[in-house]
Chains A and B, each alone.
Chain A
């Protein structure tokens, strides 16, 4: 009886502790967001989106930065999504018992925890120098693809694992081959979870700064990239650059750019959440 009461009190105490922590986090985030929006929202207008960078804060825009981010987003998606999903299918459905698969598995789990700047150094060595791609969009998106591959692979494997053996067995019993079962049953059943994982991974890529700086992405790019071999900048680098300038006008520009980057990432996360909720509804 006494013990039970003590446990109940502990239970309550922990609950309130958790709620307090959560609110503290949200509060800090709210203060930050309020500050940013307060500073930056009035700076957002058509010119800001379509102007090239400039040394005068009032004239400077983010055209090269957001087009660069879109380029990086698209190229990284093209490289990382098929490769990541294919690797996950191999590891989860085919290569289960080989020593090679085991080795890959250990590496992938570890890679997910490597700091992003290390990927930058790897990208600098392999893509920029060895392959001679320079500080181009291609080098940048290859590097970011490496960075998010482990995330996509892990998320996809979890999604594939969630398709129960009994439904796979039913597919085999109807005369389906292994690949037919994967293509017609397993992938459609896990697609929404895979998409969610992929979107979250891409959202991460879009926010990365350090590895791109390491491979030589520039803060000042006076033209919009036309091919994947062009030099580029991205939103986070532009923001980083503006924040480090002394003029107050650039701080305001940075705040405005942060709002736009945040909006982009929020929309992506929103889509991921929406897909998840819709998939849940469908399966119940």
Chain B
């Protein structure tokens, strides 16, 4: 029984997840199977546990003292919370983009090369190649190609966020977690990032938290609606937006609360 529990035909699978911060339960028996090369949107009102859920997949919740969880998170069939998991290795294959752009106070080039250098990759020609490839993938190349030595902090917010995406891509993860990556950006930057996510889907499995219903509708294949720690509904995005099964989902999507 416990053998078969660890098997999964999905890229990612959350099984019977309960999360507690101290006494307080913030996720309740969440199950979510996710196929590879898809975009999954996580929606729901503030404080319902979306970010907490997202941080489970790269174990960033581990830094919160009062955090503990029950249940399993399987990636490529393996429970990432078992004892012998190397958390650093895990994070190289599960990248994360944060709500607020958080570039390092380094040059554009060094920002991208950072994740490679800490893996001991120092060969100039290889770094050059990956840096260019990642920045191109993040649709930022034309804007920065002449200024790779310039401080990343001098870029605009939208450029910084694409730089952060490029930085994540450089270490070649297979999964990318995004926590409201466009919420601090202007409409044009937001559109660029949405377009980017569509392209990245070809190679990556993407989970994205968003407050923006239209955005979820535009970019995702599947959508999960969270409400007070419950995964109320999880289905094809099309289905969720046109014909939700649950009344609370419908109310939320139609903007009646949230």
Contacts and interface: CB of A to CB of B under 8 A. Distances in A.
Nearest to A97: B65
Contacts of B102: 164, 166-167, 169-170
Given A172-B91, A177-B118, A284-B153, 16 more contacts: A163-B105, A164-B102, A167-B103, A169-B63, A169-B98, A170-B164, A172-B60, A172-B63, A173-B60, A173-B98, A173-B168, A174-B91, A174-B167, A175-B90, A176-B114, A176-B118
Interface string B31-71: 00000000000000000000000000010100100000000
Interface residues of B, number: 29
A188 B114 CA distance: 12
A273 B60 CA distance: 39
Given A172-B60, A189-B105, A184 B88 contact: no
A185 B105 CA distance: 8
Interface string B93-112: 00110101011111000000
Interface string A93-117: 0000000000000000000000000
A283 B104 CA distance: 10
A282 B153 CA distance: 9
A174 B88 CA distance: 8
B171 A166 contact: no
Contact of A175 (B92, B100, B106): B92
Interface string B162-176: 001001100100000
Nearest to A279: B105
B2 interface: no
A171 interface: yes
A180 interface: yes
Nearest to A282: B151
Interface string A155-198: 00000000110110111111111001000110011000000000
A163 B105 CA distance: 9
B125 interface: no
A174 B114 contact: yes
Given A175-B92, A283-B151, A189 B98 contact: no
30 contacts: A164-B102, A166-B98, A167-B102, A167-B103, A167-B104, A169-B98, A169-B102, A170-B104, A170-B167, A171-B114, A172-B91, A173-B60, A173-B98, A174-B114, A174-B167, A174-B171, A175-B88, A175-B89, A175-B90, A175-B91, A175-B115, A175-B118, A175-B119, A176-B118, A177-B88, A184-B114, A184-B118, A185-B114, A189-B106, A283-B105
A188 B65 CA distance: 28
Interface hub of A169, A176, A188, A284 (most chain B Cβ within 10 A):
A176
Instruction: Specify which of B88, B118, B153, B154 lies most central, judged by the most chain A CB atoms within 10 Å of its CB.
Output: B118
A174 B151 CA distance: 20
Contacts of B88: 175-177
Contact size range, A: 20 to 34
A172 B64 CA distance: 14
Contacts of A176: 88, 114-115, 118
B117 interface: yes
Contact of A180 (B95, B104, B118, B164): B118
B171 A189 contact: no
A174 B60 contact: no
Contacts of B100: 166
Contacts of B106: 188-189
Contacts of B89: 175
B104 A185 contact: yes
B180 to A, nearest CB: 14
Nearest to B91: A175
Contacts of A185: 104, 114
**Listed residue (A169, A174, A176) with the most chain B CB atoms within 10 angstroms of its CB:** A174
Contact of A173 (B91, B103, B151): B91
A162 to B, nearest CB: 10
Nearest to B168: A174
Contacts of A184: 114, 117-118
A176 B92 CA distance: 9
A40 B23 CA distance: 74
A184 B105 CA distance: 11
A172 B60 CA distance: 8
Q: Pick from B58, B63, B114 the residue with the most CB of A within 10 Å.
A: B114
Contacts of B171: 174-175
B164 A174 contact: no
Contacts of A163: 105
Interface in A170-229: 170-177, 180, 184-185, 188-189
Contacts of A172: 60, 63, 91
A185 B60 CA distance: 18
A264 B202 CA distance: 63
7 nearest interchain CB pairs?
Answer: A175-B92, A174-B115, A175-B91, A166-B102, A173-B96, A175-B88, A170-B102
